[in-house]
Amino acid sequence: MNTPERQPLETELGRMGMSAVPQTVSVSLALDAALVDAPGHEEAPFEPVEGKGRRQLNISAGATIAVSIAVLMLAMTLGTNLTQSAKENGAFSGEWWETPLELRHTMDLPMDTMRAQLPVNGTYEALPYEEHFIEVDLPASEQDAGFPGDALMHVALWLPDVPEGEKIPVIMTIHPYYDFGGEGVAGDDSSPNTVPDGGVGKWVYDTFVPHGYALAQASTFGTGQSTHCQDVKGLGEQTGIQAVVDWLGEQEWSNGNVGLMGKSYAGTTNWEAAQQPSEHLKTIVPISGSIGVQEMFYRNGSSESRAMLYDALYEGATTDGTTDDMRMCSDDLIGPLNPFSTWAGAEFGGAEWNDYWDERRHLPDVLENYQGSVYLVWGLQDWNVDPYHAFPTYQLLRDAGINARAISGQWAHNYPDQPDRHSELSSGYGQEAYPNMSRMDWAVELFAWFNYYLKDIGEEPEPMVQIQTNDGKWHVEETWPPEDMTWWPVTLDNADGSGGTVNANNQRSFQLAPLEEAIHISGMPTLHLSVDTLACQGGQIFATMYGDGLRLGHATMDVRYRDGGLEAKTALPFQSYLMLMEFNPMDVMLTEGTQIEIVLSESGEDYLPSPCSPVGLNVNFDESSTLSLPLIDRPVDDERWFLAPPWWEQQPIPE
């Protein structure tokens, strides 16, 4: 292994090792998993938490403040050269929202809130909300049957009270979770879209509307007060979303610029809007929003448990017994059948007997048609929408000429600025990075982003990826995996372990020799695993990587998808195959002496067993199998390391 010596990050970064009370990771299945982003989780109406006793952040040293102010005053009088000198010495004289990433930890940010806030309050009051119904012209293939009527999208709109004649950009969130549940199959009704929701709506209402942005909340077709049938993430839904963006950009009060933002399903709608985009769509901020439905539920052919009921449960949870719910689209029948045919017979065309998956594959259309920008937000410990949706998507966007940024911390299916949620993570699933994962400068980050793309203020943001190691340190890269990444391959004849059968009743494992030096894994490790099929036409491997017993990451693959991706091949009994497995994105620091172990099981966490699980596969730990680790070198003084604003220094850490 020819890698330079690596050292742990020291000085101020040492304070990042604070730990939280261990919690148990809950794996949701069936209804709870399929509807995990329903209002009871993230999209519920906003409810402030009181009595936390939180205090405003103070700059750590009075002398630093004095010096900074002096430098700023001199810079104002002595010109650009002194301004540059001030920047180099840790001060910044530009607008507060332009504060460079490496200086954000010095900002005086509000730290007594549940979400990130701006250091400067806006001055505009929000006008009372308006409601609008937008008629949508649907293609012939998306017309409904049963009780047909006008296809209407329902939108609630909050405008800032700006001077007459001033034009306003719009930040919109759209999803099916308004008026969700109740008469359907999932709990009580959530609030309508006329109430700012607790995921994005209330945050935008409080943070951005006072600065001159409009907030729009819309219900997808077949949900809330939007009519038509609920075409879950399909062409009908895409067309409705795009129509709302068009309408918002064409209003006389609008400056013509619309941005979309949301998490999970409300993030997927961002990609849907960008497939055949309105000219008014300038930016999207998908937060754990899947790039495709098949991509969401099948990783290299391995099926998640919730895939089987996903479409049917969404239809059921939005059913209210009205004539709208008696309107049927063709995909209402096809959607619930596809998961079963894909799981049981993909190699025989079970995934291709209709265009259901293709119609819901969002990313290819975005790469071909979209001219706006993308800000990707993903948790590296997200088990709901796995982070492989973000990478290599980020670089694909860049290659397509789309300006993009990404931020990926060690949080789960959450926002970057939720310390109360981040504190719930268990060991091996993000806990080691807490509390430094909570980014209370995220509002500042997005303010500069929206200023440029929606108000044409400032300079175009530079592309970058902010990513966090498993032990809590932040580094910034131009792309990720980093371009200077090198591979360290280890054939399994050099590992300690014995091959054999992996099935529902047996697992296997192998260990590498203890590390001779510290390493930094940054990318998606691969496991090219030689297997033999047994008396069945298939089999599956779920691989979990550990470092001295600490879970680091996982990979999964059905042997029918042995080349990776979405195309199945026939797997005959008693044949040998090479499975090209790829782990989920990992950014992991391992110290000298750590022993890496890979445990192989037939299925794991929230994945279904394969149709051949009782029989399984035989794995070969020899020179035909290779584990490859992507390594980078970031010395302690590397300029790519940066500090996040230390909210925990002024706050009690949530327990």
- Residue for token digits 């794996």? 27
What three-state secondary structure class fits 10?
A: coil
Domains in the chain and their CATH numbers? 33-46+126-477 (3.40.50.1820), 485-632 (2.60.120.260)
- Burial class, 593, CB count within 10 angstroms (exposed 0-12 / middle 13-18 / buried 19+): exposed
What are the pLDDT digits (tens) for 416-453?
999 999 999 999 999 999 999 999 999 999 999 999 99
Question: Mean pLDDT over residues 177-194, rounded?
Answer: 71
- Which structure tokens are listed for 369? 């048609």
Residue 171 pairs with which residues in a beta bridge? 215, 259
Question: Mean pLDDT over residues 613-624, rounded?
Answer: 97
Average pLDDT over all residues of the chain: 85
Q: What is the pLDDT of residue 15?
A: 33
Which has the higher per-residue pLDDT, 492 or 9? 492
* Best-predicted range by mean pLDDT (2-16, 189-203, 315-329, 389-403): 389-403
Range in 61-75, 232-246, 314-328, 472-486 with the lowest mean pLDDT: 61-75
**Contacts for 9-18 with beta carbons within 8 Å, 24 or more apart?**
9/473, 9/636, 9/641, 10/636, 12/643, 13/473, 13/641, 13/643, 15/646, 16/433, 16/436, 16/471, 16/472, 16/473, 17/471, 17/472, 18/434, 18/435, 18/436, 18/648, 18/653
Q: What is the pLDDT of residue 14?
A: 37
Distance of alpha carbon 419 from alpha carbon 445, whole angstroms: 17
Which has the higher per-residue pLDDT, 333 or 315? 333
Residue 32's contacts (CB-CB under 8 Å, 6 or more residues apart) are none
Distance, CA of 54 to chain centre? 28
Residue 283 parent element (H or E): strand 281-287
Decide if 193 contacts 218 (C-beta within 8 A). Answer: yes
What are the pLDDT digits (tens) for 535-547?
999 999 999 999 9
Decide if 636 contacts 8 (C-beta within 8 A). Answer: yes
Distance of alpha carbon 626 from alpha carbon 495, whole angstroms: 10
Is residue 163 over pLDDT 60?
A: yes
What are the pLDDT digits (tens) for 274-331?
999 999 999 999 999 999 999 999 999 999 988 888 777 776 666 655 565 666 677 7
Q: What is the pLDDT of residue 4?
A: 37
- Which structure tokens are listed for 522? 């940054």
Is residue 474 over pLDDT 90?
A: yes
Residue 406 parent element (H or E): strand 404-409
Distance of alpha carbon 649 from alpha carbon 24, whole angstroms: 26
Is residue 509 over pLDDT 90?
A: yes
Q: What is the pLDDT of residue 91?
A: 63
* Short-list 428, 312, 290, CA closest to 361: 290
Decide if 178 contacts 219 (C-beta within 8 A). Answer: yes
Distance of alpha carbon 298 from alpha carbon 565, whole angstroms: 9
**Any idea how long the chain is?**
655
Is residue 646 over pLDDT 60?
A: yes
Residue 252's contacts (CB-CB under 8 Å, 6 or more residues apart) are none
Range in 69-83, 272-286, 465-479, 619-633 with the lowest mean pLDDT: 69-83
Residue 50's contacts (CB-CB under 8 Å, 6 or more residues apart) are none
Is residue 631 over pLDDT 70?
A: yes
Q: What is the pLDDT of residue 187?
A: 57
Q: How far is CA 576 from CA 11, 252, 503, 571, in A?
A: 52, 65, 16, 9
Q: What is the pLDDT of residue 9?
A: 36
Going by pLDDT thresholds of 50, 70 and 90, the confidence category of residue 629 is very high
Decide if 479 contacts 627 (C-beta within 8 A). Answer: no
Q: What is the pLDDT of residue 325?
A: 61
Distance of alpha carbon 574 from alpha carbon 564, whole angstroms: 21
What three-state secondary structure class fits 114?
A: coil
Integer Rg of the chain from CA: 25
Distance of alpha carbon 112 from alpha carbon 109, whole angstroms: 9
Neighbours of 605 (CB within 10 A): 14
Residue 180's contacts (CB-CB under 8 Å, 6 or more residues apart) are 38, 39, 186, 189, 190, 223, 317, 318
* Short-list 450, 441, 522, 451, CA closest to 102: 441
Query: Interhelix angle for 62-78 vs 80-88, to 10°?
Result: 160
Distance of alpha carbon 622 from alpha carbon 608, whole angstroms: 28
Residue 338's contacts (CB-CB under 8 Å, 6 or more residues apart) are 311, 351, 354, 356, 357
Is residue 76 over pLDDT 90?
A: no
Is residue 120 over pLDDT 90?
A: yes
Residue 597's contacts (CB-CB under 8 Å, 6 or more residues apart) are 509, 510, 511, 512, 545, 546, 547, 549
Is residue 39 over pLDDT 90?
A: no
